Amino acid sequence: MRYLLVEDNQELAEAVLRRLAMDGHAVDHAASLEAAKDCLAAADYDLILLDVMLPDGDGREFLAQSRKRLDVPVIMLTARSQVSDRVGALDQGADDYITKPFDFSELEARCRAVLRRRGGSAKNEIALGPALFDPLSGTLRRGETKVDLRSRESRLLEVFALNPGQILSKGQLMDRLFTFDSAVTENAIEVYIGRLRKRIEGMGFQIETVRGLGYRIEAQSP
Amino acid sequence: MRYLLVEDNQELAEAVLRRLAMDGHAVDHAASLEAAKDCLAAADYDLILLDVMLPDGDGREFLAQSRKRLDVPVIMLTARSQVSDRVGALDQGADDYITKPFDFSELEARCRAVLRRRGGSAKNEIALGPALFDPLSGTLRRGETKVDLRSRESRLLEVFALNPGQILSKGQLMDRLFTFDSAVTENAIEVYIGRLRKRIEGMGFQIETVRGLGYRIEAQSP
DNA sequence: CGGACTGTGTCAGGTTTATGTCAGCTTACT
DNA sequence: AGTAAGCTGACATAAACCTGACACAGTCCG
């Protein structure tokens, strides 16, 4: 997938770029509307991440104009205070919006959601042993049994599901679950592992601790 | 592989250099950011080990700047006390971090992990007779049988696996397993050899004692 | 607006586990 | 047989991990 990120905050932009690159996407970065136009002229994108406040104009106007020519999904990045930003963002042609500060995992989830909506119904469920996990809705299903996960639990499980068999350290999990400026304890991961374990009981797979290294998902042993 | 170590503590730097050299890597050493820049201009590296606190600046800033131009994996070396060091290290562009003081074997393991992640996901398993050993997850497999090793056991086995047929003295093994400033008895090695032997029973290879000299790994005799 | 509810993250105390030492034993070599 | 080297079961310890309880902030709903 090829993304275009339009964002003038350098620090934030780099963090987002890195993260999306880790997921295997090619991401171009434009720090202004001017630069964004150049990028759009030069390449085809699958998704645009568009900040509202930009040095040379308002992202919404840009969106309104581009919509006539483009048919690319757009996710708006808005500041929390700018409530009015949200209102109308969707009207203006955005496919979704996300308020800053956001978790990277949430951004990833929204990107997937939007792309899925657009690109037809590519199934987005992940098989976990005999169970099926839908990270978008946060539901886990095995036959008749269905479990709803909370947002954090869902993201956590998603990270495991995307790295089956691999050991993930608490540090890695933290970086995947939390914003870079939020200072949470590693203990939070332990707590969530515990909560998640309770929920996935009887689903045919389990999270196993690898002492000193991290955690790993595995199909039920016995 | 060619590494660049950016670290101002002379003693630590030399120890790391020696160790990595033993693994057959070429390692350059820069004691400051200034020197690091010169090195980067002069050569291409496969991996950078970057201390956070340096006499002429913060390693993280350096990293943030370099990221634009470089695409080399970076492992940050942070002090345990400096919690803030760790926070965001990965977001700032590091591929991994390791807190001082660290065991050399852990450093090696992380280097391998990062390089592997970067260089595609080639499996990193080592053949030991009829068995396969994955030093990253610490699992040993022979056909259907799977054994999980503990961290120290895993590192110990790794040393043997990388030096097949060679006799390794207890001193050498200690150097490879423990931090240079930690004072452990040679008996500890004996104990671990014993534990490891128990675990690898039936895996088709064995650790044999060479009285007065050390130990050696060999395929099962009969 | 206030109270009930929910999702989150922290904390403190309890539990488990890896690790290294020790003491006494076995083995190999002279 | 004597001696040094190696082995091993038992143990203390500290670190890693788990978990019940709680505090806090949103959100919902009357």
pTM (2 d.p.): 0.65
CB contact A65 to B (< 8 Å) = no
The size of chain A, in residues, is: 222
Identify whether residues A91 and A30 lie together within a single domain: yes
Q: CB within 7 A of strand D: which residues qualify?
A: A 170, 187, 190-191, 193-194, 197, 209-214; B 170, 187, 190-191, 193-194, 197, 209, 211-214
Identify whether residues B111 and B25 lie together within a single domain: yes
Identify whether residues B17 and B101 lie together within a single domain: yes
Domain boundary pick from B118, B153, B182? B118
Site of tokens 């042609």: A93
Q: Rounded to whole angstroms, how far apart are CA atoms A58 and A52? A: 6
CATH number assigned to the domain comprising residue A159: 1.10.10.10
pLDDT tens digits along A70-124: 778 888 887 654 444 444 555 566 777 776 667 676 677 778 777 766 665 445 6
- Give chain A as a DSSP string: -EEEEE---HHHHHHHHHHHHHTT-EEEEESSHHHHHHHHHH---SEEEEESEETTEEHHHHHHHHHHH----EEEEEESS-HHHHHHHTTTT-SEEEEES--HHHHHHHHHHHHHHHT------EEETTEEEETTTTEEEETTEEEEPPHHHHHHHHHHHHSTT--B-HHHHHHHHS-TT----HHHHHHHHHHHHHHTTTSSEEEEEETTTEEEEEE---
CB nearest A167 (choices: B88, B137, B150)? B137
Identify whether residues A76 and A146 lie together within a single domain: no
Identify whether residues A9 and A109 lie together within a single domain: yes
CB pairs under 8 A between A and B: 35
Identify whether residues B18 and B102 lie together within a single domain: yes
Distance from CA of B85 to the nearest CA of A (A): 11
Q: Which nucleotides of D are covered by protein (CB under 7 A)?
A: 5-10, 16-21
Domain boundary pick from B93, B118, B143? B118
Distance in Å from C19's C1' to B152's CA comes to 9
Q: In the predicted model, what is the mean pLDDT of chain A?
A: 79
Cβ atoms of A7 and A16 closer than 8 Å: yes
Distance in Å from D14's C1' to A44's CA comes to 57
Residues of chain B with pLDDT under 70: 1, 22-24, 64, 67-70, 79-94, 116-123, 179-182, 221-222
Number of structural domains found in chain A? 2
At residue B217, the 3 state secondary structure works out as strand
pLDDT tens digits along B21-40: 766 677 888 888 888 888 88
Is residue A194 over pLDDT 80? yes
Question: What is the domain extent for residue B40?
Answer: 2-118
How crowded is residue B157: how many other Cβ atoms within 10 Å of its Cβ?
A: 24
